[in-house]
Amino acid sequence: MGEFTLELNDDQKQVRDWLHGFAADVMRPAAAEWDEREETPWPIIQEAAKIGIYSLDFYAQQFFDPTGLGIPMAMEELFWGDAGIALSIVGTGLAAVGVLANGTEEQIGTWVPQMYGDANDVKVAAFCSSEPDAGSDVASMRTRAVYDQATDEWVLNGTKTWATNGGIANVHVVVAVVDPELGSKGHASFIVPPNTPGLSQGQKFQKHGIRASHTAEVVLEDVRVPGHCLLGGKEKLDERLARAREKARAGGGERVKNAAMATFEASRPAVGAMAVGTARAAYEVALDYARTRVQFGRPIIENQGVAFQLADMATQIDAARLLVWRASWMATAGKPFTAAEGSMSKLYASEVAKKVTAQAIQILGGNGYTREYPVERMHRDAAIYTIFEGTSEIQRMVISRAIAK
């Protein structure tokens, strides 16, 4: 029987400790400032780039970790530091995953490096899928991409919303409708290169949490991109659309995934790991506070009502981490999510993050409600995990459909 272990190897532990040091020494001291400023923390991103955390090489190494645990381990440590700053550091990764999931080798080699820039000139990228009237309901997407055969260009028109790094990105990855009659199966992804005319930033959102991460609308007005900017290429797109049309005529059949869903499926366990990091951070603050806060002559952790809350928090965080690790390992091992294991990990971890951060505030009492302690910010940050990249309700729908088959 082969060896089974959940213990990180020495290399993974070394990376984990390195990331933890950066999160503790660089991110946490700056977290409150950038939360208040509600701006992209470019100096922190540059610091991350200088030591190799914000780089294509680093994320590639974690992505290709044969155990599958490289990415979730990295996400947990960075989001333990601060969710808003961490999202500014890793937000480019969603666009990169969009290219990795749908692009050719040449497209991956050309565009992904341009998403990061280098330590002296850092860049960011944006993945643009959601729209004002089409968030979870991707079939209602209105942004259109029309092929101009005379110039071998695609012309994009529409408005995207909730785009991390939207408008400030060097490279935008945009999901658009190429065949409206096919619904979500008629979508494709496009690279919009730097400084392409017609792309502009719309409204920048003032958010409840993750304030250090830039979120905005992206407006596309007759944006022309070369034919080679269609991810996967036109031949592959034409073949996929032909299959979808044939299935539609036959009345259903094989499911054809669209470009946005392929990206989200690949990233859901990573989002779960982000939630675990935030939950763990809040739990540790609450635990330390309960050990040192004295009321009625003894530390409050000696009160069963507080101690049991902390016990539940610790158990739920560990359970969430194990679901994330399982899904990450399955994805790396090429095992299909037959029971929607990716959605399970994202659903449970995000709900745990909301619950644990709220309990942390309760344990700190009035202090927890003030900005003097970080749990108030952590609770605001945690709310996003049950919303972005598929709400908790959408995850439950995906899971229920999977187990009903």
Catalytic residue IDs: 389
CA torsion sign, 147 to 162 to 353 to 25?
positive
Helices then strands, counting H and E runs in the chain, come out as 14, 11
Closest by CA to 140, choosing from 113, 158, 165, 118, is: 158
Nearest to 237 by CA among 168, 187, 272: 187
Give the angle subtended at the CA of 83 by the CAs of 141 and 264, to the nearest 5°. 30
DSSP letter for 94, please: H
| 77 contacts: CB under 8 Å, gap ≥ 6 | 16, 19, 20, 23, 277
Helix, strand, coil % in the chain, rounded to nearest 5: 60, 15, 25
Q: Strands 121-122, 125-128: parallel, antiparallel or unpaired by DSSP?
A: unpaired
DSSP-derived pairing of the beta strands 125-128 and 171-177: parallel
What phi-psi label fits residue 217: left (phi over 0), alpha (psi between -120 and 50 degrees) or beta? beta
Taking the C-alpha atoms of residue 30 and residue 81, their distance in angstroms, rounded to an integer, is 10
Question: Long-range contacts for 58-62 (Cβ within 8 Å, ≥24 apart)?
Answer: 59/93, 59/96, 62/15
Report the distance separating Cα 289 and Cα 364, nearest Å. Answer: 7
> CA angle, corner 201, sides to 141 and 32, nearest 5?
105
DSSP line for 216-279: EEEEEEEEEEEGGGBTT-HHHHHHHHHHHHHHHHHTS-S----HHHHHHHHHHHHHHHHHHHHH
247: number of CA atoms within 13 Å, CB side? 17
Distance (Å, whole) CA 21 – CA 15: 10
